[in-house]
Structures are given as C-alpha cells and as structure tokens.
Amino acid sequence: MNGILPLWKEKGMTSHDCVFKLRKILRTKKVGHTGTLDPEVEGVLPICIGRATKVASHITDAGKEYIATVSIGRATETEDAQGETVASDLTHKEFSRAQINEALAQLTGEITQIPPMYSAVKVNGRRLYEYARKGIEVERPVRKVHIDQIELLGEEQQFSGEEVTFSIRVRCGKGTYIRTLAVQIGEILGYPAHMHSLVRTVSGNFDQSDCNTLADVAQLMEEQNIQSILRPIEEVLTDFPQLQIDEQLLESIRNGQVLPAVPLLAEHPSIVMMFEGHVLAIYQNHPTKPGLMKPEKMLLGSE
C-alpha cells in the first residue's frame, strides 16, 4: 500500500495518535504524518503510507493555511486557550477594522518568532514542552518564518469589549506558530493576547474537501476500497522540475546509479526523474563529484 492519505484530524487527538490508529486500520507499519497538529487543533493532516513516507518532509515543508480566532485581553502560558492565564487586561477595548488590518499588515512577509515554551522545538536535545512541564525556562531560538497573507474575516467594522475576538485566515510557510502570531498581533495592538481556536484548512496540495476522517478510512478498508482515497506520490512533487527519461536510463535510475548531471540541475537543487508518468527518484548534484548527480531519494520499487 503506497500513497498519500489526506486525513481530517479531529480535536482531542495528537498527530501521533492518528498514525497509531491508522497503522491498525490499514494493517501496515509504514505510516507517517507530515507535521504536528496540537490535540485541540483540527484540520488537514496528510498521511504518508509505504513509499510515500519518503516524501513526507516535502509535504511538511510546503505552505499551509489556517483559520484562527484571536482573543485580545488575556495571555496564557501555552499561547492558546488551554493554558493558564499569565497576564490580562480586561478593560474595555475598541478597535476599528482598519486598526486590526494595520496590525496584520505589519506581520505579513518575513517575520521573526520565538517558539512557545509549550512546543515540540528541540533545545539541547529535549523538546521545549519537556522543560515547560518541569518549570524550567530555557533560551528559545529565534526563527524567521514567512507569512504570505493574513486576512481579517467577517464584515464587522468595529470590535469592542473587555476581551475582543476576531477570526483571521493565515497563509504561511513552514515553521510558523499561529499561537505566537496571535500574541504578536496583541503586542502590536497593545494588549495581552492568545489564540482561542485554530483549524488547518490547507496543507501543501490538499484542502478540507480532499480529506477523510478516521471513521471514513476504517469503513473504506472494510469495503476494500481504500485505494479510492489514496493520492499518488506524483501529486505532491508537482513543484519540482521533472525530467522525462527514456528506457535506456530506466534501469540505471532504478538501481540508484551515479550519472552525468543534466542541465536542469544547474538551475535547481533537485529534479524528479519520471518514466511514463511515474516518479522513479529525486536526483541532486553529487556533493563531492562535479559533473555528476546522485539519487537524493529512491521512490519506485522500494517498500
């Protein structure tokens, strides 16, 4: 069994829970997810099965889209609604739509973020959440992330109250913490803030309309129709330059041989080798042998 299964992760489960359950449902051990979603977050979680696990990192690195509800007036230790309150300002607040849009504009493009203490980022070999659970504060790495677009949803022109909430749609690159983005929006508006709720609506090439729940998957397995929802590996490699090879090179590439570099590799770090519409391998320039190329990942015929 090989392919990508676009899963709709429901609330209350970790990404690892989904993998564990799918291994049982699909009766295969070679199952991997493509990026952690917190238990209270629902949304698109592409799952790689069989050979497709070799392209999991590519899906993880692809763009994402989220719909988040931002709450202005209270900050929490986890930066979301599940954490204990660490700061609050429940005075009456008034924001115009223009004010909020101006704050969102300041956070569009390349920005810097400090990952939350309750996150899976590793520092000195341990996850930040491991330190946080023991009450240990450590220096967190500053990282650059890219926000393609933030859109204020709804039609309200004025937002007011002691704790003001509004929803945004965020299109962003890998490594972005939407929880932290909510806190940053609050900082620009001058108040403590947290992310009240979050849904991932797009991951790479997949959106909500592509997804099935765990219950759907179990039913399709029972009906022996699971192949109907598995997407081919080729679908997630469409942004790579592709080279259609002839039959003369087929065996060499299938065997993972080092070959003379092709002109495409002068312009791109990696290329996909295709034969009759099927991906064989991803090749890259050889790191120590100029003029040659080597397989980065072998994708056809390996289980």
Active site residues: 38
CA separation, residue 255 to residues 28, 252, 294, 300 (Å): 26, 5, 11, 10
Q: What does R_g of the chain's alpha carbons equal in angstroms?
A: 22
Question: Cα–Cα distance between 293 and 281 in angstroms, integer?
Answer: 12
**Nearest alpha carbon to residue 274 among 233, 227, 303:** 233
Whether the CB-CB separation of 65 and 201 falls below 8 Å is answered with: yes
Residue by residue, DSSP assigns 191-207 as: S-EEEEEEEEEEETTEE
Whole-angstrom distance, CA of residue 12 vs CA of residue 23: 18
